[in-house]
Chains A and B, each alone.
Chain A
Amino acid sequence: MDMFNAIIQVLDSTIRLSVPLLLACLAGLYSERAGIFDIGLEGKMLVGAFAGAAAASVFHSAYIGLGMAILISVAFALVHGFASITHRGNQIVSGVAINFIAAGSTIMLGQAWFQQGGRTPALAPGERFGAIIWPGADAVRGVPILGPIYSELISGHSVLVYVAFLAVPFTWWVLFRTRFGLRMRAVGENPAAVDTAGISVAWLRYRALICTGVLTGIAGAYLSMVQNGGFVKDMTAGKGYIALAALIFAKWKPVNAMFACLLFGFLDALSIRLQGTPLPLIGKVPVQLMQALPYILTVILLAGFIGKAIPPRAGGVPYVKER
């Protein structure tokens, strides 16, 4: 039973840890499907996390915090759009710039506003998104096997966790069942086809970037208002890049993206769980190695275990009308 509980605990933290990855990965999916590479997921998450925690602590409301996180993150997405769509700049450069601005400005503003070394004040329970306990969760806790699965794994997460997982089928539906999705996929493959069909390439790409901004905003809010009780500098810690790796791993498909992020989340959970625990046969493994595991796996997976991942064909290329 101990073993079972341990597994449940690892899976539970797998879910918690995959959520920011999943939100960022879906965010990247919108922009990359529309033909805009977005290496700035990391930065947008970070500003989202900061704006969310700052607003929540000032206005004492988790929802105002979330709204602010989304607003600021979308604003950064639009800056990326302005540079790479309107001015046809290099998308990688623009993304990297956003990451730098995010890393610097969050610490600077945090220090200026709250004087806590770049942190935001610790959030009170009402300023955070609490766990939602599903009906009957406590009652069935004692039931073997199914009880813990229901009460630990399914119930007891914050609203943002459910939002993240519902975003998966929603994104699939948008992508493959709506006019917007069809056009968005088309503009990532062949913007000239979209242009000649009488649709604005720029407006379409901006809208995709707004979707990206909304999702990275939620991802940031999750980091600072659910996982943590406030903003800490550089708290995204490379999750934006892992999300990009997951996106490639998932071949730009929403359901695959969920499984890819769950896998990365699982590795993360496992590495935390196994820290300091001697493994059978191997013995005690250095913490650093366990922490590096998700990244090592990323390299191995991307190096060829997933088959050929074909990105959207117009990805990274600013659209210029041919003469």
Chain B
Amino acid sequence: MAQAAIELIGINKSFGAVRANRDINLEIVRGTIHGIVGENGAGKSTLMSILYGFYQADSGEIRVGGQPASIKSPNDAIALGIGMVHQHFMLVDNFTVLENVILGAESDALLKKSITKARSELERLEREYGLEVDPDAIIEELPVGLQQRVEILKALYRGAEILILDEPTGVLTPAEADHLFRILRQLKEQGKTIVLITHKLREIMAITDTVSVMRQGTMVATRETRKTTVEELAELMVGRRVLLRVEKGEAEAGGVKLAVKNLTVKDSRGVTMVDDISFDVRAGEIVGIAGVAGNGQSEMLEAISGIRLAVSGSVMLDGKPIDLTGAADPGELRDRGLAHVPEDRHHVGLVLAFEENENSILGYHDDPRYLRGPFLNIDAIRDDARDKITKYDIRPADCRLKTANFSGGNQQKIVLAREMEQDPGVLIVGQPTRGVDVGAIEFIHKRLIAMRDQGKAVLVVSVELDEIRSLSDRILVMFAGRIVGERGPEATEGELGLLMAGVEHREAAE
């Protein structure tokens, strides 16, 4: 008889008027991998934070190993053998691996003993689970995959029997994600219980034994993974049928709209991030740039959109060259018909403290349509914002609401609406669906394809390989600041994954 590692009974939690968790019941069987899926804001993270003692439930009961447990702080959770790997790593970047592992679990007031103990303990964990990592390495010098491993080691060092992982693969390459899954399977074989929170259904199918679906704060279903399908889970998550892969016709590519020539970009430390790349985007096609985060995509986007000065390089917009090394300012590029949806909507794309209608014209605020003499024409701006809200199904449909109060997906729609409605010739989009729900992803993808079908040139940069493969007519792979290969949309994930890891560098350069 399978034994429950954790039982949650009737958990409720509200933040002000928002009911993040409503009457949640969940049973997690010992020695299994249990997935929890749901859209952003469905309450997954809140539920797990309650389990880890970060928040207290308003009502309800938690049982660990059959015993009622009172978890008032992470300390209590740790004592009960619950460990958590957070989405944003809880590591001190300039500490060594060892220091991070012992932080909060030191054996006495002086460090010497703790360090010696941790060192031998890490060696044991390395042997047992294949979790190799240099104990004296500084965290910020490690790749994210290894940083995550340190998080897992931290939990195991504290004697975790139950490991909660919150969106663990968001920052990983496909190869790193595979490695993580191997580690998780091994942990499971050793009898550990694993709770995996994710919105990536493919991962759920690949690794979990059981999956629970959350929607709007409630637990809507629990299924045995092998008896369910991706389509069913998506439907449960969103509450309606969703298309996971947008349907689109053949691209009818026309003339070159955007040509990037010999672009080289250095970052603030003087490291070359983009190394002499050139490519074209034609009218009526979507070009996708795949690559692991940090391989120069961000810098390339910033240079092309005029936010960052390039060391060398230019763009041709409709045949007219614009130098990117000098005074190419975003405004000029925008006037010439290049619209940009930045990767980081919170810091670059939006002013979160502004009302929705203000953000919906930002950057186009000197357009005569929005002006009355030297002043802003507030009525015109609000009417315009309401139009966009209807057209892009932005919720809540209130153009006076502070932008910070919209969900990630709706914030992204605000930016997309602003840029797309200017009817640009060229649209460049960074991470179109980062932190966006399944339902909104479908909508955004459809919009991008509609732009393409109107004969616009669309450049999409994304670290989500699925997204690149589903949207693009041509795929360029970036690795270490260079374009290391071009593939058609039929390219397999494995093939692209190797390119992204820089493995086929030599062949690709031919």
Contacts and interface: CB of A to CB of B under 8 A. Distances in A.
Interface stretch (A17-25, A159-167, A195-203): A195-203
B256 to A, nearest CB: 43
A261 to B, nearest CB: 24
Nearest to A186: B92
Contacts of A227: none
Interface string B156-186: 0000000000000000000000000000000
B70 interface: no
B443 interface: no
Contacts of A196: 52, 54, 74, 84, 86, 90
Q: How large is the interface on A (under 10, 10 to 19, 20 to 34, 35 or more residues)?
A: 20 to 34
Interface string A194-221: 1111110000000000000000000000
Contacts of A179: 106, 108-111, 114
A16 interface: no
Interface in A137-193: 176-183, 185-186, 189-190, 192-193
Nearest to A199: B104
B39 interface: no
Contacts of B77: 198
Contacts of B74: 195-198
Interface residues of B, number: 32
A222 to B, nearest CB: 29
Given A189-B92, A189-B93, A194 B109 contact: no
Contacts of B104: 183, 194, 197-199
B385 to A, nearest CB: 27
B375 interface: no
Contacts of B84: 196
Interface in B60-94: 73-75, 77-78, 84, 86, 88, 90-94
Residue among A180, A190, A321 with max Cβ neighbours from chain B (10 Å):
A190
B112 A177 contact: yes
B370 interface: no
A233 interface: no
Contacts of B54: 196, 321
B111 A323 contact: no
A180 B92 CA distance: 15
A313 interface: yes
B401 interface: no
Contacts of B111: 176-179, 181-182
A313 B105 contact: no
B93 A190 contact: yes
Interface string A303-323: 000000000010000000101
B353 interface: no
B78 A190 contact: no
A196 B73 CA distance: 9
Interface of B: 15, 52-54, 73-75, 77-78, 84, 86, 88, 90-95, 99-100, 102-106, 108-112, 114, 154
The 7 closest A-B pairs by CB, nearest first: A197-B104, A198-B75, A193-B90, A198-B74, A179-B106, A196-B90, A189-B92
